[in-house]
A and B are shown apart, each in its own frame.
Chain A
Amino acid sequence: MSAGQPLVSVRDLVKSFPGRRGLLLARSAAAVTAVDGVSFDVMRGETLGLVGETGCGKSTTARLIMRLLEPSAGGVRFDGRDIGALRGAQLKALRREMQMIFQDPYSSLNPRKTVGAIVAEPFAIHGLLRDRAARRRRVQELLETVGMSPEHHNRYPHEFSGGQRQRIGIARALALEPRLLIADEPVSALDVSVQAQVLNLLRDLQSRLGLTLLFISHDLSVIRYMCDRIAVMRTGRIVELADNEQLYRAPRDAYTRQLLASVPGARAGYGRRING
């Protein structure tokens, strides 16, 4: 595969959640189309941002790419292969290549497992690194990679702060050496003084490990800092997809402009004041 080929290719992706009707059987709810015809590419080594407000479909899109949900229409190609066609062992192999980190560091780690067990779990699931010593060494390596001390592998999640837990989640995601990392609001639940730690970590990991990053957030400032290209989503569609500079200096779509104008401090020149 040449370097110019996208790693992930999404075409006309649609996801509808059907409503249920009927007198006898349960509720009647309207059908919800969370993703309504979305197409984009994620190029190797880049950070693509998905930004939008609640209900725009960005998280659903991520789950469709991970094949945690099945699309109602359209498809996703990973490295040229149609992921919808994969089954069994091939599907399992695909899962090694893409991993996700989640928003809430307090609920995404099993409180009953030690940190070491949490980070080692992907190996156990995929039957890799069966040698206990080798596994433990790798876990400690991973912990160091994310800036935690290797001795922490014996501790439990509740002993750590939100930022540290998020690091543990990242270590777990990196265990299988995935090519694609999807980060779904990874810093929204963290204190502001700690967010930068995790953001910088992700940037460093990306350049060191050659990761491709799909970064989802509602926070335009964070997206600005992290992403090469950005897709703005609204009610299940992409309204604008552009380079970072282009989007923030000269947004084309009216909704994008509205979003940017709504960011607090925009009018007060807050950003400009800090940056001199």
Chain B
Amino acid sequence: MTRYIVRRLLWGALLLVLVSALTFVLFRVLPTGDPARLRAGRSASPKVIAAIRVDLGLNRSLPEQFWLYMKGIFLHFNLGYSYYSSASVRSLIADRLPATISLTLGAAAIWLAAGLAVGIVSAVRRRSKLDRAAMGTALVLISAPEYWLGLIALYLFATDIGRLRILPGAGSYVGLTSDPGKWLTSLILPWLVLAATNAAVYARLIRGSLIEVMGEDYIRTARAKGLSERRVVLRHGLRSAINPVMTILGLDIGVLLGGAVLVETVFEIPGIGRLNYDAITHSDFPIVQGTVLVAALFIIVANIVVDVAYAYMDPRVRVS
């Protein structure tokens, strides 16, 4: 098992190096403009551009630049400097990270619980009216665009503009440490919106997975042992059915940690997705480059976690 984990970690590290190199190519080598000018922002003085040129080492050879770049990332965690925002990319990202993490993990908890509940009931009562209604609703939610759902939610429930003014509207997010109550209430709508689509997907996933598992021989054996149907489904059935779902959950979280752009924008939550979006509209290269790297990091880590978790949950995988 340890060998397995070590192997995954090594691969992950290698991948991270590759991704960094790729980012270098994408953001330094490929763009046709002058890298310094691109980074300086819209209205920058020649003096600033010259300073950037020195910082980036643009007067040196390409391999040297690459070496400086990699050294910067891996040794100093230097993700660059945003001249437009006058701050290091690293600090900007660190500022925004908690919001994205709060949003992602909260939503994940909700959609997992909801998806499990609906999926299990649907699977057990297959083809009943309940099942069909649930799956139909799931289909609608999967098809609905997130921002549309977000806007509808605000329209209905936001304290400032909504019909039933029960929950804080857009822009009301505060950090957990400053005001836990407000943090919680301001996240409820975004959580629900982000969870809605995903819950639907997971409900269908779990339903499908559980139906398949319930047809297996070992379920028949469990019944033959005289176990209650509830135990058969929840302990024997779910235990097998949950494996593929868990791996997808890990990947989904990994991706979302790179920024849930749409929800963050609609609800004006200061997360990484929003940061990225703003940077793109302002052509703020360094931030975009930084967020890409961070997003890649999260996905790689998520993959590793998922692989290891899968090996933990399915002993057959460990044999290899």
Contact = CB atoms under 8 A, between A and B. Distances in A.
User: Is A in direct contact with B (CB under 8 Å) within the complex?
Assistant: yes
Interface string B9-41: 011000000000000000000000000000000
Interface in B216-269: none
B320 A23 contact: no
A29 B320 CA distance: 7
Interface in A108-135: none
Interface in A142-181: none
10 contacts: A23-B3, A23-B6, A23-B7, A23-B10, A24-B7, A24-B10, A24-B11, A26-B320, A27-B320, A29-B320
Interface of A: 23-24, 26-27, 29
B320 to A, nearest CB: 4
Interface residues of B, number: 6
A136 to B, nearest CB: 43
A28 to B, nearest CB: 8
Nearest to B14: A24
Contacts of B6: 23
Nearest to B10: A24
- Interface residues of A, dominant DSSP: loop
Contacts of B7: 23-24
Nearest to A27: B320
Contacts of B320: 26-27, 29
A23 B7 CA distance: 6
Interface of B: 3, 6-7, 10-11, 320
A24 B3 CA distance: 10
A24 B320 CA distance: 13
Given A23-B3, A23-B10, A29-B320, 7 more contacts: A23-B6, A23-B7, A24-B7, A24-B10, A24-B11, A26-B320, A27-B320
Contacts of A26: 320
A31 to B, nearest CB: 15
Contacts of B3: 23
Nearest to B6: A23
Question: Which A-B residue pairs are the 6 nearest by beta carbons?
Answer: A27-B320, A23-B7, A24-B10, A24-B7, A23-B6, A23-B10
Nearest to B4: A27
Most chain B CB atoms below 10 A, which of A23, A26, A29: A23
A29 B318 CA distance: 12
A26 B6 CA distance: 12
A21 to B, nearest CB: 11
Nearest to A20: B320
A191 B10 CA distance: 52
A175 B128 CA distance: 52
B240 to A, nearest CB: 23
Nearest to A25: B7
A23 B10 CA distance: 9
B7, B10, B11 interface centre (most CB from chain A within 10 Å): B7
Contacts of A23: 3, 6-7, 10
A27 B320 CA distance: 5
Contacts of B10: 23-24
A220 to B, nearest CB: 28
A27 B6 CA distance: 13
Contacts of A24: 7, 10-11
Nearest to B3: A23
A26 B11 CA distance: 11
A134 to B, nearest CB: 48
A24 B11 CA distance: 7
A24 B4 CA distance: 10
A26 B10 CA distance: 12
Contacts of A27: 320
B17 to A, nearest CB: 14
A24 B9 CA distance: 10
Contacts of B11: 24
Contacts of A29: 320
